[in-house]
Structure 1
Amino acid sequence: MRRLPFWPTLFVLAMVALMVGLGIWQLRRAEWKEALLARYAAAEGLPPTAFPAVPVPDENLVFRRASGHCLEVTHWDARAGRNRKGEQGWRHIASCRTGGGEGPGMAVDYGWSRSSEAPKAPALGGPVSGLIDFDRDRVFILVADTAAPGLEPSEKPSPLNVPNNHRAYAVQWFLFALVALVIYAIAVWRRPPAGPGAKPQG
């Protein structure tokens, strides 16, 4: 008769419980992400709004049409990105002054090019409209409908570009738990049986 070793069995069961818990957590994250993406998909159909004067973490503004006024470009930043043909290159993000004070201003994606060099348009400014996007730091960017002179329009922001891999991660965690149980069952099965009739090892 084979007896399960207490501490190894306890450890394996604890790890399996942890992996199953992580899988369930990923399923809940998937439901949350799907609801968020549904809101994103509906945002473009909402009435246009003003680009937020103060950066606020309002997810309802992402992918919504908006407009603002860039009084003056104070800085250019080049970031890897694509144009509307899907070609790789550089997005040119302008930091704009929007008022006379030291406010947060606004970030505007004025277009795409193959070069990372800043556009030669220091006096660029004025009204701008487009779609609200966000970067990896959750900072809002207004992707302009019309590119600045010498640039092409950047790729249109879309919820389709937001990854949603939570269900795949959940399946992975459940598979890890199953594999751990199978490996442990095989290891226990191959152990010599305990008891009076067990053959001595040596």
Structure 2
Amino acid sequence: MIEHPATTPRLRLPFLPTLLVGLAVLIMIGLGIWQLQRSAEKTAAIAMAASNPARPAVSFPALPPVPRDLLFRPSSVMCLRVAGWRTEAGRASDGTSGYRYIAQCVTGAEGPGALVVMGVTPRPDAGPVWTGGRVAGWLSEEPDHRPLIARLAGKAPPLRPMLVARTAAAGLKPAAPPSAADVPNNHLAYAVQWFLFAAIAIIIYILALRRHIGLKSA
């Protein structure tokens, strides 16, 4: 009598869960690669911005985003009137910390207006009495309060242009000029996060498969 060797049951992966996990992992890896590309672009943009303060003055851009070749360039804007004030943590030109007063300026009958940093104070109060006029300074971008998920996915709206005034409003210290050192380059960290998410998804799925196989063989 001929005995046939025992055969090991062939493992069959569940189709739909495997497909969904595979697609999710591919998307996360793709996002990680995209963030690596963005990191290289941002590094080049920061290098360009570092030399911009010494370049000739440019017109204040009407709409976002601020082109990288204009970031930190000297500029000026005419503030017809101040529609409101915002306060943000900031630093004065003498190195002290405090609160920046950002004027929300009206620049015409229509349009987005302009944001102007009019100076820094050690503590927030009723706000400066400045009501508008011609302001000269350096081009920057508004503080970034966009949701992290939107930034990771590239869905966040562009940051509006903002002018950091050379001369402060009465009662305020001049704000520190914008610097390339203040521009974050978090794209490499975002890429690592996406790759970690992909690895964790694979590990969790493998553990779930092992548990599933163990329950079936029990």
- The answer to whether TM tops 0.5 is yes
- Look up the match of 1:91: 101
- Choose from 142, 155, 162 the match for 1:141: 162
Cα offset, 1:86, TM superposition: 4.6
Question: Which residues of 2 match residues 54-93 of structure 1 at below 5 A?
Answer: 54-55=62-63, 57-59=65-67, 60-70=69-79, 72-84=80-92, 85-93=95-103
The reply to whether residue 102 of structure 1 matches residue 109 of structure 2 is yes
1:40-81 deviation line (CA, Å, top 9, x unaligned): 2222121223435x44644132211123455x5443413213
Q: Cα distance 1:92–1:23, how it changes in 2: closer, same or farther (>3 A)? A: closer
- Look up the match of 1:167: 188
The reply to whether residue 157 of structure 1 matches residue 181 of structure 2 is no
Describe the SS at the equivalent of 1:61. Answer: coil
The reply to whether residue 26 of structure 1 matches residue 35 of structure 2 is yes
Kindly indicate whether the alpha-carbon contact (under 8 Å) linking 2:75 and 2:136 is maintained by their aligned counterparts in 1.
Answer: yes
- Look up the match of 1:118: 127
Question: TM-score w.r.t. structure 2 length?
Answer: 0.70
Structure 1 Cα separation of the partners of residues 202 and 130 of structure 2? 63
Structure 1 Cα separation of the partners of residues 201 and 63 of structure 2? 46
Structure 2 runs not aligned, ≥5 long:
1-7, 145-157
Give the superposed CA RMSD.
2.9
Cα offset, 1:171, TM superposition: 1.2
Structure 1 runs not aligned, ≥5 long:
none
Q: Cα distance 1:153–1:133, how it changes in 2: closer, same or farther (>3 A)? A: same
For 2:200, give the aligned amino acid.
Answer: V
The range that moved more, 164-173 or 153-162, is 153-162
